[in-house]
Amino acid sequence: MISSVKVVGLGRVGTAVAARLAERGLTIDRSEPELVLLCVPDRAIAEVAASIDEGPWVAHVSGATSLGALDPHTRRFSLHPLQTFTLARGPEQLDGASAAVTAETDGARELGYWVARTLGLQPFTLADETRDATMPAPRLPRTISSPCVARPVSCSSRQALRHRRSSP
């Protein structure tokens, strides 16, 4: 689908992502990329996006930032790996993790899925900006095992946990 990517932000996520893309044969192009992937802190996404010339696809990896932060770009999506990253490990930490893809168009969603799979991630659609409000919210896959996903605990579950702790 694409052959060149510029990864902006070489922290924990950006380092792993750039290494994996290079492993998979994509050109890490700093001058004229087909995709600019923002791996910067959430608070910097809008400012960095605004500094990018229109033309290439632009995406971010934040799970807490809307696509509106990528304005004025219209060729955009987000790809959020549900994974904790460390600089002590390489691109293998991407392998098999789930990734939420948010997109406004079918083309953006298709590219987001392609990038996720290229990275070794298991993509799913979390939501999109154009989803009809009357449609039910998408369900998360049962295979998510990330510390980033909070799981509600019912009162009966808490009581069972207390009972197990107090039992000999």
**Predicted local confidence at residue 122, as pLDDT:** 98
**Predicted local confidence at residue 14, as pLDDT:** 97
**Predicted local confidence at residue 36, as pLDDT:** 98
- Boundaries of domain holding 157: 4-166
Q: What is the DSSP letter of 136?
A: P
**Predicted local confidence at residue 35, as pLDDT:** 98
7 forms beta bridges with: 37
CA distance 76 to 68: 9
Tally of domains in the chain: 1
Residue linked to tokens 């993790």: 97
Q: Which amino acid is at 87?
A: L
Q: Which regions in the chain score pLDDT beneath 70?
A: 127-168
The CATH number of whichever domain residue 107 belongs to comes to: 3.40.50.720
**Predicted local confidence at residue 128, as pLDDT:** 53
Enter the tokens of residue 155: 């009162």
**Predicted local confidence at residue 55, as pLDDT:** 95
DSSP per residue, 25-62:
T-EE-SSS-SEEEE-S-GGGHHHHHHTSPSSSEEEE--
**Predicted local confidence at residue 84, as pLDDT:** 95
Residue linked to tokens 């500094």: 51
**Predicted local confidence at residue 127, as pLDDT:** 63
